[in-house]
Amino acid sequence: MKRFAIVTLFAVAPLLTGALWMDSQPSYKPYQAPILMPPPDSVPVSGKEIVSEEAELRNPVTPTQGSLEKGKALFGINCAMCHGQTSVKRGPVGMKLKPPPPGLDHDMLQGLSDADIFKAVTFGFGRMPHFQDKLTPRERWNLVNFLRTRR
C-alpha cells in the first residue's frame, strides 16, 4: 500500500505542479477587458488634444450665462489663489511671489485675443503652470469667457 501511494504521488506530481502556474498564464481575467490592437492604417478618433502654439484659434463656446458661471467657478478653483478673486488684490499664493502675478483685470486682457488667453492657460508661461492636462478645452474656453467679463 505504501508503494502504491509513492507511485501515485510521483504520477500525480506533474499535474499538481501545473496548477501552480495557472494564475500566470497569458489569458484574460474576468475583470479585464481584452486589449485590442487597432486595424492597420486606421485613424484615431480620440486621444490627446493637439493645440499648436502658433495656431490662431476661434472661441467655439458662446459666452452664455452658464458658460460664465462655469468659468467663474473654474477661476475660483484654479486661478484665484495666485491672481486673486478681484483684480485689486492678489491671492494668498500670489502675494508670496516676487513679482506678484498680474491681476487679470479687464484693461489688461483687452489687448489679448481669445486665442492668446486660451493658449496662455493651455501652455502656461513663466511661473504659471500649464492647464492642458487639468482642464478640458471647453473648460478653458469657459474660463476665457469669464475673464472677458471680469473687472
Task: Spell out the SS3 assignment of 2-70.
Answer: HHHHHHHHHHHHHHHHHHHHHHHCCCCCCCCCCCCCCCCCCCCCCCCCCCCCCCCCCCCCCCCHHHHHH
Confidence of residue 106 (pLDDT cuts 50, 70, 90): confident
Residue 30 has pLDDT above 90, yes or no: no
Judged by average pLDDT, the poorest of 6-10, 34-38, 109-113 is 34-38
Domain-located, residue 4? no
In this structure, how many other beta carbons lie within 10 angstroms of the beta carbon of residue 41? 5
Domain-located, residue 123? yes
Residue 70 has pLDDT above 90, yes or no: yes
Nearest-CA neighbor of 70 among 151, 135, 115? 135
Do residues 105 and 87 make contact, with C-beta atoms less than 8 angstroms apart? Answer: yes
3 is written with which cell numbers? Answer: 508503494
Provide the number of structural domains found in the chain: 1
Confidence of residue 27 (pLDDT cuts 50, 70, 90): low
Q: What is the pTM assigned to this prediction? A: 0.65
Which range of residues forms the domain containing residue 137? 65-81+90-149
Domain-located, residue 55? no
Amino acid at site 11: A
Domain-located, residue 108? yes
What angle, rounded to 10 degrees, do the helices at 137-149 and 114-123 form? 130
Give the mean pLDDT of the chain.
Answer: 82
Residue 88 has pLDDT above 90, yes or no: no
Domain-located, residue 47? no
In this structure, how many other beta carbons lie within 10 angstroms of the beta carbon of residue 86? 14
The CATH number of the domain holding residue 128 is 1.10.760.10
Contacts of 43 (CB under 8 A, 6+ apart): none
Confidence of residue 34 (pLDDT cuts 50, 70, 90): low
Domain-located, residue 131? yes
Count of positions (residues) in the chain: 151
Domain-located, residue 10? no
Domain-located, residue 135? yes
Residue 12 has pLDDT above 90, yes or no: no
